[in-house]
């Protein structure tokens, strides 16, 4: 089922709008990312990255009235070719709006308005994996991370 686009507004935030809404966007993401989320300070750091003119990125929102019901955060990588130009860091949809196409519409806006290639990390058990595949994302690599705190303990 597609969302009622008459009730929702989909928008890309300007740097000025994000600076004013940063706390609200961070709180929304913290609340609605669920098991796939990060601590609030890390979400804030991601939004600071978008606001940094030497780094950059984009934030797209779905809004119902004055309430945020969906958000996507993209960070620019500053690279191209061997690493995609953009990384989708966060996408969240309010639980009452899930399954209505809000996430798909946000993803389509993010892809259409981000010049160059995009990557994202997704847990294999995340239900959004199928959406990403339908939108053209491919599993190119198995990502492995080294955590110094855990390995030195």
pLDDT in tens, the chain (153 residues): 344 556 899 999 999 999 999 999 999 999 999 888 899 999 999 999 999 999 999 999 999 999 999 999 999 999 987 889 999 999 999 999 998 999 999 999 999 999 889 999 888 888 888 899 999 988 877 777 778 877 676
Residue ranges of domains in the chain: 8-151
What CATH number is given for 8-151 in this structure?
3.40.630.30
* CA dist., res. 93 & res. 51, Å (int): 22
* Cβ proximity of 72 and 90 under 8 Å: yes
**Contact criterion met (CB below 8 Å) for 119 and 87:** yes
d(Cα 57, Cα 40) in Å, to the nearest integer?
Answer: 19
Q: CA 19 → CA 44, 56, 63, 122, distances in Å?
A: 11, 13, 17, 27
φ, ψ for residue 119 (rounded to 5)? -125, 160
Q: Would the pTM count as exceeding 0.75? A: yes
């Amino acid at each position: 089922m597609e969302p009622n686009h008459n009730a929702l507004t989909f928008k890309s935030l300007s740097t000025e709008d994000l600076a004013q809404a940063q706390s609200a966007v961070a709180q929304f993401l913290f609340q609605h990312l669920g098991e796939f989320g990060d601590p609030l300070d890390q979400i804030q750091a991601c939004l600071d990255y978008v606001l940094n003119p030497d780094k950059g990125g984009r934030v797209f929102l779905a809004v119902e009235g004055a309430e945020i019901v969906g958000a996507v955060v993209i960070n620019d990588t500053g690279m191209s070719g061997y690493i995609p130009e953009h990384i989708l860091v966060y996408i969240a949809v309010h639980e009452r709006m899930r399954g209505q196409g809000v996430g798909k519409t946000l993803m389509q806006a993010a892809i259409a308005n981000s010049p160059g290639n995009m990557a994202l990390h997704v847990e294999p058990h995340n239900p959004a994996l199928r959406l990403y595949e339908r939108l053209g994302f491919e599993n190119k690599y198995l990502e492995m991370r080294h955590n110094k705190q855990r390995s030195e303990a």
